[in-house]
Structure 1
């Protein structure tokens, strides 16, 4: 019996405003209207535009957005192992989602969901630490960032293949 082999792509969508990326300049609740369905639809359109119907035919059945955090714009995408290069290239060529400009930053590519989860959790910790440093609160101060970090760790750890 042959099993279906996947690649898991962890990507961060960095919003662009007036020509410069807002790396860490937004708050956690930036009010972005981005969601998993919009990411999937934009990725589908990028594959069709850049690789045609043959590219979408190769990738379309296996492409799914397994996790999306609208707060930190972190996304875990599952795609078949043989076609992950097409999905990765389409992500790189993606410029806008629902009319809002984003810079897609592929953080990690993995063969298992477990390693994608671990990379997602560690990346979320880095993003939360960046937000906490910008807020200039004392180190022992517990705030919404800590609560958010705990909930996202549970959400990401609960993902199933």
Structure 2
């Protein structure tokens, strides 16, 4: 039995408008990627990626996308992604963050990337109130129980 090796492409959907949640579905994104591959590489590109291309994960809140492609042809997908300019009547583009050999490696990168973005956001805060709001939102997103946070805050004072 032959094992197909894949590459997972971690992308961020960047929309031009300021809506928080866009009603984008995985199949819409899949068809747009397939259309971009057809535009960039013709029937050959569509043919070689027909069985191995899929959108594994799409989070409409964070706009994070995992795309799976066969390892031998993942560069065809990477070269076609800049041709995507809209999805479901929304103007957007795909920002490639990472290419990995497994979903797990992409998840590890995504955690590290998220921590870096929060640190950048914290540094950009101009007032103390903004910093407190960002720190509060970071604590709300963490897995620590609120009771444990108040105990730790009491100990730190």
TM-score range, shorter chain: 0.7 to 0.9
Q: Which stretches in structure 1 are left out of the alignment for 5+ residues?
A: 18-25, 151-161
Check the 8 A contact 1:6/1:80 in 2, yes or no: yes
Quick one: structure 1 residues 148 and 73, their matched pair in 2 at CA, closer, same or farther if it must change by over 3 Å?
A: farther
Check the 8 A contact 1:9/1:78 in 2, yes or no: yes
CA distance, structure 1, for counterparts of residue 53 and residue 44 of structure 2: 14
Q: Partner of 2:34: helix, strand, or coil?
A: helix
CA distance, structure 2, for counterparts of residue 100 and residue 126 of structure 1: 28
Q: Which residue of 2 aligns with 1:138?
A: 132
CA distance, structure 1, for counterparts of residue 15 and residue 119 of structure 2: 19
Q: Is the counterpart of residue 76 in structure 1 residue 58 in structure 2?
A: no
Cα distance, 1:78 vs structure 2: 0.8
Check the 8 A contact 1:6/1:78 in 2, yes or no: yes
Q: Deviations over 1:108-161 (max 9, x none)?
A: 011222211111222334445566766925168534x655566xxxxxxxxxxx
Q: Which residue of 2 aligns with 1:8?
A: 8
Cα distance, 1:79 vs structure 2: 0.5
Q: Which stretches in structure 2 are left out of the alignment for 5+ residues?
A: 144-157
Q: Which residue of 2 aligns with 1:93?
A: 83
TM-score, structure 1 as length reference:
0.72
Aligned with residue 31 of structure 1, among 18, 21, 27: 21
Provide the alpha-carbon RMSD of the alignment: 2.6
Over alpha carbons, which structure has the higher Rg? 2
Aligned with residue 107 of structure 1, among 92, 97, 101: 97
Cα distance, 1:104 vs structure 2: 1.2
Check the 8 A contact 1:124/1:149 in 2, yes or no: no
Flag the structure with higher helix content: 2
CA distance, structure 1, for counterparts of residue 23 and residue 139 of structure 2: 23
